[in-house]
Structure 1
Amino acid sequence: MALDTERKELLLGTLRKLGKEDFESFKFFTDLPQSVLNTDIPVDIAYELIRKHGENVLEETVKILKKIGNNNLAEILHNGMLKIKVADLAVHEDEDDDQIGRLKRDLQENLLSLYSFVPEGNTKRWEQQQSLADVYTELNVTYGADVSPDKRHEVLQMETCALTKKSIRPCDIFESADGKRRPIRTMLTVGFAGIGKTFLVRKFAMDWASGNTNQDVDFIFPFTFRELNMEKGKSFTLAKLIRLYVSESRRMSEETLNNIFDSLQKSGNRDYKTSRIKILFVLDGLDECNFKMDLKNEMKMDIDVKQAYPLEVLLAHLIKRNLLPCARLWITTRPATVRYIPSNLIDSRTEVRGFSDSQRLEYFRKRFPNDERVIQHIRKSRTIFIMCHMPIFCWISSTILQDHLDKGKVGDLPTTLTEMYTWIVFYHLEVWKERLKTEYSRYVKALAKLAFHHTMNKRQIFYEKDLEDSGFDYGQDAKHCGLFTEVFKEVRPLRRIQQGKMFQFVHLTIQEYLAALYVMMMCSHHKKNVLADSRWSLKGFLMPAKQKLITQVQLSALQKASESEGNLDLFLRFLFGLSLACNQELLGELLKAPQDCGQSKSDTVELIKKSIKQNTPEKNINLFYCLSELKDDSMLEQIEQELHSRNLSWRNMPNEMWSALAFFLLTSDEPMDWFDLKKYSASAYGLEMLLSVVKAFEKSVLTDCHLDKRSCHLLASVLSSSSNLRFLDLSHNDLLDEGVEILSKGLASRNCILQVLKLTKCKITKQGCTELAKAIKLNPSNLQELVLSENDLSDEGVTSLSKGLASQDCTLKVLDLSSCNITKRGCVSLAEAYKLNPFHLQEIWLWCNPIGEEGESILTEFSLRFPLRATFDPFRQDGF
């Protein structure tokens, strides 16, 4: 080989350069046989050295040269060795790069074939697919998802969701929000069901496979949990799992993948940016995973990448960074599942937020270009407009609205969610009536039964056996049931070899509607309460047997919904909505109830109002939506009248009216830029009753409201939870250091997105500053303005606060310390903090502080060197 020849020539050339005496000395230290040492021919000595030392012959020659004192020749030989090694490495790297390039192109072709075409909506068969580029609609994707546990139903969360964050392009999803390009190993993307998470993954992968974006990535290996569920209980190597689900290329064999992964694992590199081979693993739909992964035990382990592990263990090691820590990982999930992943395993978060207000209106303008009445109707119904946040619901709504327009029923457009979904069922039954004739009730009941049982079990992915257990024969019935083909769809796997078929409803809300329909059908046709639970009767939850069956069903539903942590909120709305005569008439025989099974609207409304009296305002929000489904706005009209008349007596106002006020403020069509508690009740109790409103608004002003320690606990819970709050003014409340300490726990939460905090005249001292500094250190990336004016902070408090300001990640831009009793020493502390972090702080307000000319000059000096504006009282007298 050429490199072997180069080594021989280098060795022989070195020996020939030795003088006679050095050559004899050199032979003495070689420890060669005497018969060899008698020769004076360099070639013979070189040959024997190679036989003895093999590949290490040059290294040994350097050692001998140093022993005989010929350091000059030793250095020449050493430099020659380095040149050979560099050339050797270059050849191997070129060979590796060529191989990686070939494998990359092969994988890109593979993914293009999987991702380029998708079915549009659920109206096309797989052989009638559309180009993803044509079907994909731009989504709102934002940095910094709210990932704290939220027990509300996803639809309820959407109804209080702000859409003010700047959207990012799919290809930029791994960039840092603040532009600092922090190392991102694991990205978590959250979003509600049907909001577009999987489409986002497909778009990202297709753009890469097309060679358009993110070409620094060598390999993308996407997995979906809905498919991985089929391998539960099996063991795999990582390479075998990839071969099974992602790559069907012969080039990318298990042996090739094992060699690549083994070299990366043994390198010890934990940084994606510096990794020689850049790999992205995608785990789509963690919320659909039905096997357990131990992510809490974070003990570091030495993993053999060539060894097979049970699937749940293999994936857990990948997430916990024991397996290929230099590879990048992208996990998508619904918000409810986020709590199962320890926060320290996530480096960055993004959120898919569906359509913005303008995008959803644009959607309907394109669909109905010559009829502004549809736009007006969509905007008028808040619940329907919020649901159009999701692209799939825009498609559902437009289908129903188009049918009304075609039949000239514009004045009879659906105004509630229950009406909308009832029209979906009615519309498709009408279309297929001739073919189904009297058989349609069996099909609907089978689908509704499937929806009910799996809604109760929190499942959204089904298999053929699940259909059979519900009385639906997929092979035969699917050919005749038009409703099935419209509201239910087969989920196409990414891999081409599939064990069994997978299904899901086109959206979770359709599953929940059909589940409610099943309960009502069983009540009306079979006089059975399928929600009944024997343990409740023992606890006294159920009413006497003489009570109407429908009342017992509704009470059971209320109880189950209250225990479901929000999972059954929309199911409950549909159940009450289906008790309305207009919806029952539309469904005809499906819900034709016997005389003794019906219940008047007034009785149902009264039942809900009794429940409202027993709950807190936040828990009552969904019950008011239930009243909306019944088209009863009596409580809202009452609270609105009293607001206009200003005759409300806050101290004596009953709980249900507080709930009505909270719901009115949350759903009002009148634009409210900010919430001012003093307009309603300047008290700690008022805050407690209207906490859900504070949580929903981006800006809340709670000044001079006599807030106390409990108020701080409530606000801390808001800051550390899923909320929209970005501006909070607590000025002129005697919070004291104790209250600020409690509040700081919320500020320190990674979920806190507050940008402006005003604490003017809150009786804060040094201890309060210490707690604020701790919070800024723990969560430095959001707070931009902090107002602490008219508090006796003194120099000690400013010194404590400066420790938080010095944090490299602190993003605070404006700091107001007016009238805080600060002297020159405090200015020195601020200056030292600014030296450590000079990139963000832009304004410091120091009006009415005895800082003197020396203190002013200290900060003025920094103003000249950095973009810092220190503002002093122009009317300050010397010494004050």
Structure 2
Amino acid sequence: QKHIRVVLTNGVAGVGKTFSVQKFTLDWAEDLENQDVSLLVLLSFRELNLIKDEQYSLLTLLHVFHPTLQKVTAEQLAVCKPLFIFDGLDESRLSLDFNNREVVSDVTQKSSVNVLLTNLIKGNLLPSALVWITSRPAAANQIPPPCVDRVTEVRGFTDVQKEEYFRRRFSDEELSSRIISHIKTSRSLHIMCHIPVFCWITATVLEHMLTTEQRGELPKTLTDMYSHFLLVQTKRKKNKYDEGHETSPQELREADREVLVKLGRLAFEHLEKGNIMFYQEDLEQCGLDVTEALDSGVCTEIFKRESVIFQKTVYCFVHLSIQEFLAAVYMFHCYTNRNTEVLKDFLKVDDDDDDDDSFIDDDINFYRTSN
């Protein structure tokens, strides 16, 4: 029954959290909904990461991220009803320490970004402000439950909406019916299709397989689907830039192998760190040249970049499951190439143990035998 000031919205990767935020913002801007809110400020964590080590006041933060608010004063901010939307907590590299006793209550007082955010969420800073945070479930626990007044969830498509997606996407009714029928034959595919992004991946793969001369069984597992997705995107890039020159699948794999391994390393190392957004320095640490990554055939619709504030660029995989798949590809590569250093770190084997190498060899042999 208490006043709802802070709302946390959960949802798995690609289910539509950011889309919901954009729709909410657009409806507000067009005077259609939530007109009791006098100022709406959208701040994404992928952009806030860029200034995590700098000092700002809340007022300056607004001016920097939204230049149209340059004329907004501290007095105006104090008397209006603002809504702050912090999108993508799971993408945050800030250290949100809610036990930090540093209190910031003045919108002109400078502090670190994480301190500003925690004080805003706690209500110490601009208590009249509403706060909406979106996050994947795994990262939502960064916000202590006592600080949240309401938890909501974006659940994605219902079974009816899954079919509606494919029927709207394809004008060919026969094609959409075949795709829908195939998805229903695989429980894992049908379940995953509640995520809109996965519907797009599935549509991309099945449309290509059903409308070209490519033969073979349609993918029924997630591994098969992602493998085909990589191949489809690689072939599209090849056709676009190679002027129709045909390359065998084996040659194509060899040409893209190095970039694929580097992308897999990036995916794997940052999954361990809990990162799903990457910056220039992250790519460089994995030996990945930006131009190389984005011009490679495997990167057409797999690895994308966005220009954000300060003309900075951020990178991410099109969906978390793509990052997970490429991380698995990288681990498979390490197994087959006996990259014991990576395997030791992953398996947390003590380097001083004399049996380390044989332990890993046993794992490699078991893996090869069982697959």
TM-score using structure 1 length: 0.38
Q: Which residue of 1 aligns with 2:95?
A: 292
Query: Hey, what's the Cα distance between the residues in 1 that align with 2:27 and 2:268?
Result: 39
Q: Which amino acid aligns with 1:203?
A: K
Summarize the Cα distance change of 1:312–1:406 in structure 2 as closer, same or farther, 3 Å threshold: same
Shift of 1:188: 1.0
Partner SS, residue 15 of structure 2: coil
Q: Deviations over 1:747-793 (max 9, x none)?
A: xxxxxxxxxxxxxxxxxxxxxxxxxxxxxxxxxxxxxxxxxxxxxxx
Structure 1 position 298, deviation (Å): 7.2
Q: How does 1:266-345 map to 2 (within 5 A)?
A: 277-296=80-99, 303-345=105-147
Do residues 489 (structure 1) and 304 (structure 2) align? yes
Pair 1:383 & 2:195 matched: no
- Separation in structure 1 between the aligned mates of residue 105 and residue 234 of structure 2, nearest angstrom: 56
Task: Name the structure 1 match of 2:349.
Answer: 536
1:508 partnered with 2:320: yes
8 A Cα contact 1:527 1:549, kept in partner: no
CA distance in 2, matches of 1:477, 1:404: 26
Q: 1:541 to 1:362 in 2, by over 3 A?
A: farther
User: Equivalents in 2 of 1:464, 1:355: separation in Å?
Assistant: 35
Note the 1:578-593 alignment, pairs <5 A.
none
| Distance in 2, Cα, partners of 1:324 & 1:306 | 11
Name the aligned partner's letter for residue 402 of structure 1. Answer: E
1:701 is matched with none
| 1:458 counterpart residue number | 274
SS in 1 for 2:235: helix
* 5+ residue gaps, structure 1: 1-179, 265-275, 555-597, 602-880
Decide whether the 8 Å contact of 2:335 with 2:343 is kept in 1.
no
Which residue type is aligned with residue 439 of structure 1?
Answer: A
TM-aligned CA deviation for residue 239 of structure 1? 0.9
CA distance in 2, matches of 1:455, 1:224: 20
Distance 1:337 1:599, change over 3 A: same
Change (3 A) 1:303 1:359: same
Cα deviation for residue 396 of structure 1 reads 0.5
Residue identity matched to 1:360: K
Quote the Cα distance in structure 1 between the aligned partners of 2:208 and 2:289: 30
In structure 2, the residue corresponding to 1:207 is in which secondary structure? helix
Distance 1:546 1:329 in 2: 49
User: Residues 459, 302 of structure 1: CA spacing in aligned structure 2 closer, same or farther, 3 A cutoff?
Assistant: closer
How far apart are the structure 2 equivalents of 1:433 and 1:415?
Answer: 26
Aligned twin of 1:445: 261
Query: Is the aligned partner of 1:420 residue 2:225?
Result: yes
Closer/same/farther in 2, CA of residues 302 and 448 from structure 1, 3 Å limit: closer
Report if aligned partners of 1:237, 1:307 keep a CA contact under 8 Å in 2: yes
Q: d(CA) in 2 for partners of 1:244 and 1:319?
A: 20
Deviation at 1:335, TM superposition (A): 1.0
Q: How does 1:91-110 map to 2 (within 5 A)?
A: none
What residue in structure 1 maps to residue 41 of structure 2?
A: 221
| C-alpha displacement of 1:522 | 2.8
Q: Is the 8 A contact 1:296 1:342 kept in 2?
A: no
Give the drift of 1:535. Answer: 4.9
How far does the alpha carbon of each residue in 1:220-273 deviate from its partner, in whole angstroms, 9 at most, with x for none?
A: 011111111111121111110001112335xx42xx421223xx3xxxxxxxxx
SS where residue 486 of structure 1 aligns? coil
- In the alignment, the residues of structure 2 paired with residue 516 and residue 386 of structure 1 have an alpha-carbon distance, to the nearest angstrom, of 21
Q: What is residue 234 of structure 1 aligned with on the other side?
A: 54
CA distance in 2 between counterparts of 1:546 and 1:237 reads: 52
User: In the TM superposition, what is the alpha-carbon distance from 1:417 to its structure 2 partner?
Assistant: 0.6
Q: 1:515 to 1:546 in 2, by over 3 A?
A: closer
C-alpha distance in structure 1 between counterparts of 2:349 and 2:293, whole Å? 38
Match for 1:427: what amino acid? V
The 1:527–1:331 alpha-carbon spacing in structure 2 relative to 1, beyond 3 Å, is: same
**1:546 and 1:418, CA in 2 relative to 1: closer, same or farther beyond 3 A?**
closer
Cα offsets for 1:456-480 (capped at 9, x unmatched): 222111112222222221135523x
**1:406 aligned to which of 211, 232, 236:** 211
Higher RCO (C-alpha 8 Å, min separation 6): 2
C-alpha distance in structure 2 between counterparts of 1:223 and 1:463, whole Å? 18
Are the structure 2 counterparts of residues 350 and 477 from structure 1 closer, same or farther at C-alpha, using a change threshold of 3 Å?
Answer: closer
Q: Distance in 1 between matches of 2:107 and 2:359?
A: 63
In the alignment, the residues of structure 1 paired with residue 353 and residue 20 of structure 2 have an alpha-carbon distance, to the nearest angstrom, of 48
What secondary structure does 1:527 align onto? coil
Out of 451, 464, 471, the residue aligned to residue 287 of structure 2 is 471
Distance 1:393 1:361, change over 3 A: same
- How far 1:446 sits from its partner (Å)? 1.9
Aligned equivalents of 2:106, 2:300: Cα separation in 1:
47
1:431 and 1:216 map into 2 onto residues whose CA distance is: 48
Q: Is the 8 A contact 2:86 2:133 kept in 1?
A: yes
Amino acid at match of 2:322: I
TM-superposition CA deviations, 1:829-864 (whole Å, max 9, x none):
xxxxxxxxxxxxxxxxxxxxxxxxxxxxxxxxxxxx
Counterpart Cα distance in 2 of 1:483 and 1:546: 30
Q: Does the 8 Å contact 2:55/2:113 carry over to 1?
A: yes
Hey, what's the Cα distance between the residues in 2 that align with 1:240 and 1:286? 21
- Aligned residue in 1 for 2:364: 550
- 3-state secondary structure, aligned to 1:504: strand
One-letter amino acid of the counterpart of residue 219, structure 2: P
Larger Rg: 1
Structure 2 vs 1, CA of residues 412 and 219 (structure 1 numbering), >3 Å: closer, same or farther? same
**How far apart are residue 338 of structure 1 and its match?**
2.2
Change in Cα spacing, 1:540 to 1:378, as seen in structure 2 (3 Å) is farther
3-state SS, counterpart of residue 599 of structure 1: helix
Instruction: Assess, with a 3 A threshold, how the Cα gap between structure 1 residues 302 and 490 changes in structure 2: closer, same or farther.
Output: closer
Q: 2:8 aligns with which of 188, 193, 209?
A: 188
Aligned position for 2:74: 258
Alignment of 1:785-864 (within 5 A): none
Q: Is the contact made by 1:192 and 1:335 (CA closer than 8 Å) also made in structure 2?
A: yes
- SS in structure 2 at match of 1:221: strand
Match of 1:248, SS state, is: helix
* Counterpart AA for 1:400: V
2:160: which partner in 1?
358
Measured after TM superposition, the shift of residue 383 of structure 1 is 0.9
Query: SS of the counterpart of 1:349?
Result: strand
- 1:807 is matched with none
Answer whether contact 2:8 2:151 (CA < 8 A) is retained. Answer: yes
* Alpha-carbon contact 1:193-1:334 (below 8 Å) kept: yes
Question: Runs of 5+ in structure 2 lacking a partner?
Answer: none
Is 2:338 aligned against 1:527?
A: yes
8 Å CA contact 1:223, 1:246 repeated in 2: no
Alignment-mate amino acid for residue 369 of structure 2: Q
Deviations 1:17-67 (A, max 9, x none): xxxxxxxxxxxxxxxxxxxxxxxxxxxxxxxxxxxxxxxxxxxxxxxxxxx
Task: Flag the 1:302–1:548 CA change in 2: closer, same or farther, 3 A.
Answer: closer
Contact preservation (8 Å) 2:294, 2:304: no
Rounded to whole Å, the distance in 1 between the matches of 2:138 and 2:293 is 35
Q: TM-score, with normalisation over the residues of structure 2?
A: 0.87
User: C-alpha separation between the residues in 1 aligned to 2:110 and 2:360?
Assistant: 62
The DSSP-based 3-state class of the residue aligned with 2:305 is strand
* Conserved? CA contact 2:277–2:314, under 8 Å: yes
